[in-house]
Amino acid sequence: MSTQPKGSKYGTHRVISPKGVLPQPADKIDNNMDVLYDNEILIDVQTLNIDSASFTQIEEQAGGDKAKIAEIMLGIVEKQGKHRNPVTGSGGMLLGTVEKIGDALKGKIDLKEGDKIATLVSLSLTPLRIDKIKDIRPDIDQVDIDGKAILFESGIYAKIPSDLPETLALSALDVAGAPAQTAKLVKPGDTVLIIGAGGKSGMLCCYEAKKRAGVTGKVIGLCHSPKSTERLKKLGFCDYVFAADATQPVAIYEEIEKLTKGKLCDVCINNVNIENTEMTSILCTKDDGVVYFFSMATSFTKAALGAEGVGKDVTMIVGNGYTKGHAEITLQELRECKELRDIFTELYA
DSSP state of 163: T
The pLDDT value given to residue 274: 87
**Phi/psi at 146 (nearest 5 deg)?**
-105, 125
Confidence check: pLDDT of 268 > 90: yes
Mean pLDDT of the chain: 94
The pLDDT value given to residue 65: 96
Domain ranges of the chain: 12-160, 177-348
Confidence check: pLDDT of 295 > 90: no
Mention every residue, 6+ apart, whose C-beta is less than 8 A from residue 54: 85, 87, 88, 90, 91, 92, 296
- Topology of domain 177-348, per CATH? Rossmann fold (3.40.50)
Confidence check: pLDDT of 124 > 70: yes
| E-strand stretches of 12-72 | 15-17, 28-29, 41-50
Q: Give the pLDDT band of residue 63 (cuts 50, 70, 90).
A: very high
Mean pLDDT of the region 122-149? 96
The pLDDT value given to residue 239: 98
Mention every residue, 6+ apart, whose C-beta is less than 8 A from residue 291: 267, 268, 270, 281, 282, 285, 303, 314, 315, 316, 317
Mean pLDDT of the region 234-248? 96
Q: What is the pLDDT of residues 7-19, one digit of tens each?
A: 999 999 999 999 9
Measured at the CA of 91, the angle between CA 131 and CA 11, to 5 degrees, comes to 80
The helix-helix angle for 200-213 and 338-348 (nearest 10°) equals 170
Q: Which of helix, strand or coil describes residue 136?
A: strand
Mean pLDDT of the region 226-255? 96
Q: What is the pLDDT of residues 331-343, one digit of tens each?
A: 999 999 999 999 9
Confidence check: pLDDT of 165 > 90: no
Mean pLDDT of the region 164-186? 90
The pLDDT value given to residue 64: 95
Please say whether the beta carbons of 153 and 134 come within 8 A.
no
Mean pLDDT of the region 37-55? 95
Mean pLDDT of the region 321-330? 87
Please say whether the beta carbons of 145 and 133 come within 8 A.
yes
Q: Give the pLDDT band of residue 1 (cuts 50, 70, 90).
A: low
Mean pLDDT of the region 256-277? 95
Where does residue 29 fall: left (phi above 0), alpha (psi -120 to 50 degrees), or beta otherwise?
beta
Q: Give the pLDDT band of residue 322 (cuts 50, 70, 90).
A: confident
Q: Which of helix, strand or coil describes residue 25?
A: coil
